Amino acid sequence: MILGIDATNIRSGGGLTHLKEILLNAEPKQYDFQKVIVWSNNETLAMLPDYPWLHKETHKWLNTSFLFSFLFQILLLSKIAIVEKCDLLFIPGSTFLGNFQNIVSMSQNMLPFEKEESSRFPGWKSRFRFKLLSFTQGRTFKKSHGVIFLTRYAKDYISNSIGLKNDSLVIPHGINLSFLNEPKVQKEISDFSVENPYKLLYVSIITVYKHQWNVAEAILRLRKEGYPITLELVGGYTLESLVRLQGILKNDTESCIVYNGQIPYENLEKIYKSADGFIFASSCENMPIILIEAMTSGLPIASSNMGPMPEVLGEAGFYFNPLKTNEIYLVIKQMMDSVELRAKKSLESYNKSINYTWKDCSEKTFEYLSKTAKHL
């Protein structure tokens, strides 16, 4: 069999990491795929591994704007896939508007479907984009012979939202093993000081559904009460959310909150390993890979109780409503005050994180694609 992969809209972020890792760990011939063809731009294709069975194809339209990549997908890709005798076309980018019939798609974004979350964005262009994506992705999922979801939460929510009755499967992403770090011996809060503070870390883009300003308010309140805690924020930003965060940081008279901006991915493991605890206050996720990175790094975690976070973290988290600053404050305080709970939960989350491997993700993905192709 021949497998085609439509990566025409994959250029960066988690989508690119997923594509690269499932191919890097793949042994497609075990699943009766003699050839795998990937269509994308030159930059994305250069990030993919080189194997005899992997054929990387591009086109001049794929190396310009997203508009031309979209037109390539609609007007040309189906015809090319037929000429190449593809038995199945895999759509990891969620949207496919071509007329090739034998497709399996994948969901990697909840924002188009959680209207309450997408409505947090102040700009009409962002809201319109999510509405458009909900239509195109929903249409793609409905016409697919199979759909891959990253969490049970995403599968149930999206299936109910669009009335999806197609065959589907949950296959979580894997984790980079460089983050592996056994939990530290937890210390009493009295062992920390202003000079040697408890370092809380939050890695995420500063945007409307990540609620960094609520976390910052909680930290400032704890400092006023004498807790020797600092907060390090790492990630890019959207302007309106950065302005909102800066409004809170004006009250940080002790400089206990630091925003370090975007940090190269290869440097993140050092940031995790230097922290004492982690906080994740997102209210919308498909699969929170950042949360799993923190779990793998052996950190005690205070987490949002929304979305798939309880599914991923299980009983190993200190949970709060990310929309309520007082809850965030109380949960961080509980985490700091209880050395026994910190030790217990950090070990539990670390052990749970070891189950998320790219090898397992790749094997399950190719097994599902092969099974689907054989039943067409």
> The whole model's pTM is what?
0.92
- Is the pLDDT at 354 greater than 90? The verdict is no
**pLDDT mean over 211-235:** 97
Tell me the C-alpha distance between 239 and 261, whole Å. 12
Cross-strand bridge partners of residue 147: 105, 168
Q: How many CA atoms lie within 13 A of 153 on its CB side?
A: 22
Same fold, 2-174+357-374 and 177-353: yes
pLDDT of residue 276: 97
- Is the pLDDT at 8 greater than 90? The verdict is yes
* CA-only gyration radius of the chain, Å: 22
- Is the pLDDT at 193 greater than 90? The verdict is yes
Instruction: Give pLDDT tens digits for 287-304.
Output: 998 999 999 999 999 999
CB atoms within 10 A of CB 21: 20
- Banded pLDDT at 177 (limits 50, 70, 90): confident
**pLDDT mean over 304-327:** 97
Instruction: Give pLDDT tens digits for 247-266.
Output: 999 999 889 999 999 888 88
pLDDT of residue 21: 94
Asked if 144 contacts 103 with a C-beta cutoff of 8 angstroms, the reply is yes
- Is the pLDDT at 57 greater than 90? The verdict is yes
CB atoms within 10 A of CB 233: 23
Asked if 309 contacts 285 with a C-beta cutoff of 8 angstroms, the reply is yes
1.10.357.10, 3.40.50.300, 3.40.50.2000, 1.10.10.10: CATH of 2-174+357-374: 3.40.50.2000
pLDDT over 70 for what percent of the chain?
100
- Is the pLDDT at 318 greater than 90? The verdict is yes
Domain ranges of the chain: 2-174+357-374, 177-353
pLDDT of residue 376: 85
- Reduce the DSSP state of residue 200 to 3 states and report it: strand
- Is the pLDDT at 118 greater than 90? The verdict is yes
- Is the pLDDT at 273 greater than 90? The verdict is yes
In 198-290 the beta strands, taken as DSSP E runs, fall at: 198-203, 229-234, 257-259, 277-280
**pLDDT mean over 226-242:** 95
- Is the pLDDT at 12 greater than 90? The verdict is no
- Banded pLDDT at 11 (limits 50, 70, 90): confident
- Tokens 């930290």 found at: 219
pLDDT of residue 355: 86
- The backbone torsions φ and ψ at residue 258, rounded to the nearest 5 degrees and listed phi first, read -125, 130
- Average pLDDT score over the chain: 95
Asked if 358 contacts 174 with a C-beta cutoff of 8 angstroms, the reply is yes
Architecture of domain 177-353: 3-Layer(aba) Sandwich (3.40)
Phi and psi based region of residue 175 (left: phi greater than 0; alpha: psi -120 to 50; beta: remaining): beta
Tell me the C-alpha distance between 236 and 262, whole Å. 5
pLDDT of residue 66: 85
- Is the pLDDT at 13 greater than 90? The verdict is no
Token pair for 261: 């901006």
- Banded pLDDT at 306 (limits 50, 70, 90): very high
- Is the pLDDT at 176 greater than 90? The verdict is no
Of 320, 315, 367, nearest in space to 344 by CA = 315
pLDDT of residue 30: 96
